[in-house]
Amino acid sequence: MKKLNIILLSLLFTLPFRLFADEGMWLISLVQTYNYEKARAIGLKVPADKIYNENSPSLKDAVVSFGDFCTAEFVSKDGLLFTNHHCGYDAIASLSTVEKNYLDNGYWAKNRSEEIPVPGLFVKALVRMQEVTDSILPKLNGLDGQERIKKVNEIIAGMSANANPDKKYKVEIKPFYNGNQYFMFIYQVYNDVRFVGAPPSSIGKFGGDTDNWMWPRHTGDFSVFRVYADGENKPTAYNETNKPFNPKYHLSVNISPLKQGDYTMIIGYPGRTDRYQTSFGLNYVQNIQNPTYINIFTAVTQATKSEMDKDDALRLKLASSYASQMNSLKLFQGQLDGFARINPVPMKKKEEADFTTWVKSLPASEQGQYSNILSDLESIYKQYEDIAKPMFYPFMSTSLLPSMQFAGLLATLRDPLAKKGAKEELAKAIDETRISINAEKEAYISLIDQNALIAILKAYNKNVDPAKQASIMKDILSTHTNSDVAIETYVRSIYAKSFIATSDKMMAFLNKPSLKTLNSDPVMKLYDNLLNTGMEYRGAFQQLQLKQQAATRSYLKGIMAMRGLNTMYPDANFTMRLTYGTVEPFDPRDAVKYAWQTTANGIIEKYIPGDEEFDVPQALRDAISKKNYGRYGVNGELPVCFLSTNDITGGNSGSPIMDANGNWIGLAFDGNYEGTACQYIFEVPMNRTINVSINYVLFLVDKVYGAGHLVNEMTFAQ
């Protein structure tokens, strides 16, 4: 009877944790076990063994990790590879020059001899994966903290070496469910990746920061590469004689019209989620972490924007770094907006109450391992609250501002400067520092740094207990009764006196470095004081993290026992996942309804001549005005982007979105603003994946830029 009661309680307790059909980033090898029938129920037609198969070609062989930060897909038998424009951006930038500006003007190789090698770029193809939990967990009994981490790393190193004796593969062993489960992944790595083509950034980044996270969207976010291999189709370093790689499987293209409710499936490498966070953790994110991040990023972006608006040349110079900062700011604010709408803390408290009831239903001998977990986690997060702000403000100040970054680079010269007779070591260190500073100094504007630092220090003073502030703050604030005046006066003064605040003076210092000069510089003194303060709190923060990881691991162990793995998916961790859903619109707020698809008409509606974000190349404007869309058009219009209910996050960028038959219908490239809280909670009515339609992509490649030879490589679904 006791066993029956436990089973009944377990069934009841799965209800608050229930998953919607669209939610989840599922391990691709386990789809047949956990999800296949659910996916079939909403339209999937691909046999399970055609999704993941270690012995014959399957969809998993068409999808690769792109540089360990994005996803890409093979779309021809000759290794033609598509990913997002923003994923290929750095590679394209590295190949661009003033004379050959591929970012601004685009590029299309007319033949394979014009495909350009990208040094350092690689793709990683999954060969197979297997669970190895039983080879790891039993060896960790009684271990915690750093001791456990050290042992895990030791075990993983040994297992990886044994699984790859001839070093043909890359082996990764990763934890799941906070270390309650482990899987081994065997990858083949291809290092000869060549740039084939991309539209100009005015298409690939159309809408810029304004449209980032937003719908409706009209961004042609794609770029094209090709993977090369040796004569035996094996990975090798770049060589002119290498041949296009022949993947085991490549995706077929479907340009048939989509309709609302159509099944969609995405395979990719999502980066990080925290879906099993507790109410205490969400409260910390909502009230401590994100507000602090927002204060700091707001200070930096406002300081940058105010100067960019005064000078077009400066605006262009700082556009990339500003967009990156705004992207972070919009994400953190979007998460808070999502929390305000969803109110997830009470939802999590309900789950925790059900967990507590379940624990009490267990035999007395089994209750002890779970009985104090939630109170431990509550205590840990309260301690985080005491430490987080005093750590975040000084640390982020020293990492976000170029002048502080310069100070950090110059600080590496202290050891060789202090050593007698270390001329070679010092010369090498100076050369490395000079290179690093030269690489960053173009993005440095002294006035922007000053204004940002003033705003950050004001927020620091306002939001952090004086007893926990850097000691230098006391000296700063003692100079004037008005703290804001004191901070501004101090910052202006040190930048006027510091050699670090001026590029020419920094270069002069590197020509004749002095430890005394370095240590006495006022910007360096501020950097040292802020960094040391951050480090003081970081030690305590890291100790709390170890305790939190152990408590969360125990909590997840209990949740897994209570719910059963068939109702759970592991948090994202840059391993291959499958997510399924449907094409759907959404209603973001009262009286506002968004359609699920945009068309080329919207590009012209948004067009602002000469604007950095909304300019449209003449070639595309001409093509749209003629409406000669050919086979890529649908009822006289050209689909551009569409929405789906798939569950994705960072790392999925560039992932193929496929139809019910596994055919390629577009590339995932963003999520909607209303769904930015998806790192922590998936909200079915609001979460949407934003995809660029394959119709628009191929129209650009074929009709606008004349690269039809690439389209001719592809297989089209019948």
- Residue-wise pLDDT for 652-687, tens only, equals 999 999 999 999 999 999 999 999 999 999 988 899
Rounded average pLDDT over 276-297: 97
Identify whether the C-beta of residue 671 lies closer than 8 Å to the C-beta of residue 658: no
Residue for token pair 């042609």: 220
What pLDDT is attached to residue 420?
A: 86
- Residue-wise pLDDT for 401-437, tens only, equals 999 999 999 999 999 999 988 889 999 999 999 999 9
Task: Give the whole-angstrom CA distance, residue 664 versus residue 206.
Answer: 23
According to DSSP, the residues that pair with 74 across neighbouring strands are 81
Task: Give the whole-angstrom CA distance, residue 352 versus residue 278.
Answer: 8
What pLDDT is attached to residue 22?
A: 66
What pLDDT is attached to residue 47?
A: 96
Q: At what angle do helices 402-411 and 373-400 cross, to 10 degrees?
A: 90
What pLDDT is attached to residue 629?
A: 96
CA dihedral sign of residues 159, 162, 166, 169: negative
In the chain, pLDDT over 70 holds for what percent of residues?
Answer: 97
According to DSSP, the residues that pair with 586 across neighbouring strands are 594
According to DSSP, the residues that pair with 643 across neighbouring strands are 690
User: What type of residue is 51?
Assistant: I
- For residue 202, what is the enclosing H or E element? helix 201-204
323: pLDDT confidence band, cut at 50, 70 and 90?
A: confident
Task: Give the whole-angstrom CA distance, residue 264 versus residue 258.
Answer: 10
According to DSSP, the residues that pair with 644 across neighbouring strands are 583, 689
Expressed in percent and rounded to 5, the helix, strand and coil fractions of the chain are 55, 15, 30
What pLDDT is attached to residue 1?
A: 30
Set 85, 86, 218, 250: catalytic member:
86
The pLDDT of residue 3 is above 50: no
The pLDDT of residue 612 is above 90: no
Q: Is 244 exposed, middle or buried (0-12, 13-18, 19+ CB in 10 A)?
A: buried
**Nearest of 708, 701, 654, 649 to residue 675 by alpha carbon:** 649
Known catalytic residue at 86 = yes
Task: Give the whole-angstrom CA distance, residue 266 versus residue 654.
Answer: 10
User: What type of residue is 122?
Assistant: F
What pLDDT is attached to residue 5?
A: 33
Tokens of 250: 């490549």
Set 58, 279, 397, 653: catalytic member:
653
What pLDDT is attached to residue 567?
A: 79
Known catalytic residue at 262 = no
Identify whether the C-beta of residue 67 lies closer than 8 Å to the C-beta of residue 121: yes
230 vs 210: which has the higher pLDDT? 230
What pLDDT is attached to residue 11?
A: 29
Q: At what angle do helices 364-371 and 522-563 cross, to 10 degrees?
A: 160
289 vs 31: which has the higher pLDDT? 289
Rounded average pLDDT over 110-130: 98
Say which DSSP state 43 is in. T
Rounded average pLDDT over 148-163: 97
Known catalytic residue at 76 = no
Identify whether the C-beta of residue 85 lies closer than 8 Å to the C-beta of residue 204: yes
Mean pLDDT of the chain: 94
Strand, coil or helix: 51: coil
The pLDDT of residue 9 is above 70: no
What pLDDT is attached to residue 397?
A: 93
621: pLDDT confidence band, cut at 50, 70 and 90?
A: very high
- Residue-wise pLDDT for 27-85, tens only, equals 999 988 888 999 999 999 999 999 999 999 999 999 999 999 999 999 999 999 999 99
- Residue-wise pLDDT for 132-145, tens only, equals 999 999 999 999 99
pTM: 0.91
Set 209, 221, 521, 615: catalytic member:
221
Identify whether the C-beta of residue 651 lies closer than 8 Å to the C-beta of residue 59: no
- Residue-wise pLDDT for 166-194, tens only, equals 999 999 999 999 999 999 999 999 999 99
In the chain, pLDDT over 90 holds for what percent of residues?
Answer: 89
